[in-house]
Structure 1
């Protein structure tokens, strides 16, 4: 399948740790058949009980094109090493998921000294791959869970969701940055502004926006679009309202749009998460899990996107980074899947 590296039995075996008397998720999840085309695989997986399609995007050209750090290219493997070794039991059996694989980005990678212009050109090429692949997933009636890469991929996801679901998308984004920067060439900081200009983004709310990490120009653009936000300072510092109150208010507003909902998470919103722009003053992981769980359960959610995790950027080294990001992403995955399965 073009521009898709399938997650196969060999890869699964390299990550899976079995134990007698137990069944792990990796022993139950569905995998694609390389002898069949993508649409056939998706149709067959759905017929066999799949609802969620887990996909990785291993790239850091988007953050680098935004003058940020690299490293956001290996979160998918970290997540699968943890998630697939969780227990298959009464709470989640596993056959609801097909682990599809990763978007092929090898030919898009550029050296550390690559120019900003060349990086942004490669991001445009990646956009087309994400749109092509994910449109097929949405059209098949399945929900993608996308892991890894920069937040630039929100644009491709929103475009694909609009194409597959035939409607604009209402997005909520847990992120210190609005990613609504000017349309100056594609990068991780303007996925939502490009999606808004294209008509794919019908409504936008940022949760945890850092009041001093967004330029006045960006805030004004967001306001002009009609975007909304609750800031990090409002909730977690000044305690003007609780995270529960904020999330419930966001869910109500999302439902009022009567549009499909995208749940976006920039992992650099979470305190000390290794990422392209990690922060010491961030959102607790447990609050991020609540946010994902609540929106997934109470809104007509179309997909979950977990962006920007960069295990190699962990202060204690890559091994610690893989453990922390893998465990954190696994918990976010389960929060989303559980919320959707038990949706009201």
Structure 2
């Protein structure tokens, strides 16, 4: 169910200070808090007329990662991110009115006793909610910035793009895993393979794919689809190609498809980021920001999806996880906005 952000809820996420204006004081909310999912378009269009370009949407779930036999904890990424992002300054670089903080999709949570089959059914049910909400955002000609939940939600986002534009998408994904696992029931490891099978994904490039974190069967399936990748080892270990060179190649290939571009990042690609599959051998946060900024600037991106952040998985506890996830995701969000709406210095 979509929980629309209210002024009261928003006010709990940031603090004011004399002589300063925070983003939380400037972002837009929908006026009708009882708006139904199927009637979002008109409310969003009204906000667009007031200068909105981006719609920040949370997804509070961890059924997808758990259905993939991973750790939970990705239910609080949105609130952690907003607690940091909304406390940033409103100034000449970003006013805030460009962003609608729409709210949060909150499916029914399953406890630890849930079976794999129940988790996969819950993930499939969530797909339909994601498609319904994101399709309305795209129909209003706004750009979704989707935060939280597992990478399973890439499927719903890609299906929403297909629904709105009547064509498949080209996806670029910074991720050590291709998430192109067999279609064995919905989970966080097969969002892209399901999207491909359902005609929502026509071109797919994985940046930072870890050479030993993808099964041979998955790599073979990705190859048969015609998928492309630069491995983590190629760029950050063996230094066979620079990140800048890889991004230039990706943008050129993606633009030749003339398809809307899905910009994806699984934060478990980032070193020491709290997530279902966190790693010490990962991409620096600043490189992840550069990736988002470059692709958003040079390609026709339809949305940004920041998946898998899990504050509860931080080694120092959830409070530290909220801080690290919040700061990191805020930088990723701004990297996207900066590319799509250059600041007026």
Question: For residue 15 of structure 1, what is the aligned residue in structure 2?
Answer: 13
Indicate the SS of the match to 1:304. strand
Provide the residue aligned with 2:91 in structure 1. 89
Per the alignment, residue 214 of structure 2 pairs with: 214
Separation in structure 2 between the aligned mates of residue 75 and residue 103 of structure 1, nearest angstrom? 12
Structure 2 unaligned residues grouped into runs of 5+ = none
Aligned to 2:126: 126
Q: Alignment partner for residue 52 of structure 1, among 46, 51, 54?
A: 54
Q: Deviations over 1:300-332 (max 9, x none)?
A: 110000000000110011111000000000000
Q: Provide the secondary structure at the position in 1 that maps to 2:302.
A: strand
Is the Cα–Cα contact under 8 Å of residues 61 and 106 in structure 2 kept in the other structure? no
What is the CA RMSD across the aligned residues, in angstroms? 1.0
Q: CA deviation at 1:35?
A: 4.6
1:109-166 alpha-carbon deviations (Å, 9 max, x no partner) = 2111211111101111000100111111111111100000000000000000111122
1:255 corresponds to which residue? 255
Report how many aligned residue pairs link the two structures.
339
Whether the 8 Å CA contact 1:309–1:325 is kept in 2: the answer is yes
Alpha-carbon separation, structure 2, partners of 1:327 and 1:41: 30
How far off is 1:77 after superposition? 0.3
Which stretch of the first structure deviates more once superposed, 307-316 or 164-173? 164-173
Task: Indicate whether 1:115 and 2:122 are aligned.
Answer: no
Paired residues for 1:1-344 under 5 Å: 3-33=1-31, 34-36=33-35, 37-105=39-107, 107=108, 109-342=109-342
| Distance in 2 (alpha carbons) for counterparts of 1:274 and 1:35 | 34
Secondary structure at the aligned position of 1:112 is classed as coil
Kindly report structure 1 stretches of 4+ aligned residues shifted beyond 2 Å.
none
Inter-partner Cα distance in structure 1 for 2:34 and 2:242? 51
C-alpha contact (below 8 Å) 1:57/1:103 kept by paired residues: yes
Q: Which whole-Å CA distance do the structure 2 matches of 1:22 and 1:198 have between them?
A: 49
User: Which stretches in structure 1 are left out of the alignment for 5+ residues?
Assistant: none
CA distance in 2, matches of 1:286, 1:79: 17
Query: How many angstroms apart in 2 are the aligned matches of 1:35 and 1:161?
Result: 25
The Cα of 1:39 is off from its aligned counterpart by 2.0
- Report the CA distance between 1:19 and its aligned residue: 1.1
Which deviates more from structure 2 when the two are superposed, residues 72-81 or residues 161-170? 161-170
Whether the 8 Å contact between 1:297 and 1:342 is mirrored in structure 2 is: no
- Secondary structure of 2:149's partner? coil
The normalised TM-score by structure 1 is 0.97
Alpha-carbon shift at residue 342 of structure 1 (Å): 3.4
Cα separation, 2, equivalents of 1:41 and 1:276? 35
In 1, Cα distance between the equivalents of 2:135 and 2:189?
A: 23
- The separation in 1 between residues aligned to 2:286 and 2:247, in whole angstroms, is 13
Q: Structure 2 CA distance, aligned partners of 1:165 and 1:45?
A: 22
Distance 2:288 2:106 in 1: 29
> How many angstroms apart in 1 are the aligned matches of 2:327 and 2:87?
11
Render the CA deviation track for 1:262-315: whole Å, top value 9, x for unaligned.
110001000010000000100000000000000001101100000000001100
Are the aligned partners of 1:29 and 1:97 in contact in 2 as well (CA < 8 Å)?
yes
1:28 & 1:114 partners in 2: Cα distance? 41
TM-score by length of 2: 0.97
- Cα distance in 2 between the residues matched to 1:169 and 1:35: 32
Distance change >3 Å, CA 136–CA 21, structure 1 → 2: same
